Amino acid sequence: MNREQFLGDLMDRLGTLSEAECRKVAEYYDELIADGVESGRSEEEVIASFGQAEGIAGQILAERDSLQSKKEELRSRVENWQSESGERGGLREYRAKGPVEMIVVETRDRRVEVRESSDGQARVWFSPREGDRVSVEEAGGAFRFLHKASFFSGNAWIWNLHGGERKVLLEVPHAFAGTVCVKTTNSRIEAEGLYGREKLQLVSSNGRIAVTGCTVNELKLKTSNAKIEIVEAAGDACDASTSNGKTIVRESRFTRHLWLETSNGAICVENIDVPDISLCTSNGSVKGTVVGREEDYEIYSHTTNAKSNLQTTGLSGLDRRLSVVTSNGGIHIDFTGSPTDVEESARQEPCDPDGEESECTVACSWGENFAGDDEEDGEDGEDEEDDAPFTLADGQVHIGQDGICVGEGENTVRIDSADGTIRIGNGKIIIRNGRIEINPEEE
């Protein structure tokens, strides 16, 4: 039997397989025939060594069926999600038609959930309502879902409260190796159970970002005035940046680096296995456990007005680096001992970012509690309102009970809600009986 006959026979027997899959099988055997002939055997000989086309096709179809049953299981989970959200009828599917290398989801004031796709296709589930404008594009290997609310966006959150939960669900194919960009405003983003080599970028503002149980290539997270939480994640690199919110990373492993940056919030890491760690905040403590031995790390540690248990080592040329910078907050990092796998390393006592902050000055206290330490889920980003140091409404900034503090050292500006004073560095402004008093004599 020659090459054409064999491949033709094999393709005939793969009837129920998709065209793309059939092509892969043909390419595989074509390459084997060419390599076999090159090593000195005849084409017939090589083909005869493969055995009967019937048996070959049988093995391929059996493997396909076992993969498919897994997919069906995943699909039923998605259906569960739909019925849970109570919007089964109203949800519309926006599906990528072909294979894509880039997935972009942009929305405003809508919470976004990112999950794994049940059938290898990228798609978005969303229930558009009056005033929603949705455009979906697919070109040049990129799938874009863009959503805008045509009414004044300031009202969008009120609409949310009345209309129940509004979210965008993005499904990313298993083993995806392209880029995924998700962007929203004033709402949280949650990614869970992804497994691939994707570059995952999640950007929000005033909404927390949570990544749970994800294996990706790169993780880039950015938000403001809210918490970032990464649990059981793995990949090459992770960059996470927020402001006025804490950052938590637990049970995670990155082969290149983990760079965390926030302000006015604590950083807590627990059992992280990364050769290059940078933890940077202000007015907040940095605590946790790092996999490895202290002597394996080149360490830089700096804080003000508080203690650090780390010793700066200077440039030591070690493979592992740990840099911790904060102000007005303590630093306490423990090491697990010899480097091990994250899952296998003995679980350290979980650090408690809400616990005592003895070294912390007054300035850092509110940052710790901002952006909803409570895990109770309410409406989109708005559930954080009670704890927030300030909120935006009616075009004005409203400052909460605990006041607000910006900047560092002599440049610190602190507005104290309790007595109505504004302090700038060592100076003080009080508004009393309609008069502005600058640096008044202390009573």
Partner 1 sequence: MDVQRKKGLLDVCVLAVLRREPSYGYKIIKDVSECIEMSESTLYPILRRLEANGLVVTYTQQYGGRTRKYYEITEDGQRRIDAFMNEWDEIKRIYTFIKGAEQ
Chain positions contacting partner 1, by CB under 8 A: 24-25, 27-29, 31-32, 34-36, 38-39, 49-51, 55-56, 59-60, 62-63, 67, 174-175, 177, 195-197, 215, 234, 236, 255, 341
Q: Which helix (H) or strand (E) holds 424?
A: strand 421-424
Could you tell me where the beta strands, DSSP code E, fall in 313-361? 320-325, 331-335
- In whole angstroms, the minimum distance from the beta carbon of 232 to partner 1 comes to 14
Residue closer to partner 1, measured from CB, 42 or 59: 59
Shortest distance, CB of residue 48 to partner 1, whole angstroms?
12
CB of 26 to partner 1, least distance (A): 11
Its sign, for the CA torsion 331, 334, 340, 344, is: negative
* CA atoms of 325 and 302, how far apart (whole Å): 5
55 or 337: whose CB is closer to partner 1? 55
In the complex, minimum distance from the CB of residue 11 to partner 1, in angstroms, rounded to a whole number: 14
The residue (of 120 and 128) whose beta carbon lies closer to partner 1 is: 120
With a CB cutoff of 8 Å and minimum separation 6, the contacts of 220 are: 199, 200, 201, 202, 238, 239, 240
Closer residue to partner 1 (CB): 29 or 366: 29
CB of 195 to partner 1, least distance (A): 6
Closest CA to 259 of 280, 281, 285, 232: 280
Minimum gap (Å) between residue 222 Cβ and partner 1: 25
Nearer to partner 1, 38 or 442 (CB): 38
Identify the three-state secondary structure at position 191. Answer: strand
Please, which residue, 196 or 245, has the CB nearer to partner 1?
196
Task: Give the DSSP letter string of 112-132.
Answer: EEEEE-SSS--EEEE---TTE
The least CB distance from residue 395 to partner 1, in Å, is: 48
Cα separation of the two ends of the chain? 104
Distance from C-alpha of 10 to C-alpha of 1, rounded to nearest angstrom: 12
Which residue's CB is nearer to partner 1, number 25 or number 91? 25
Placement of tokens 């290059």 in the chain? 276
- Write out the two tokens for 382: 């708005």
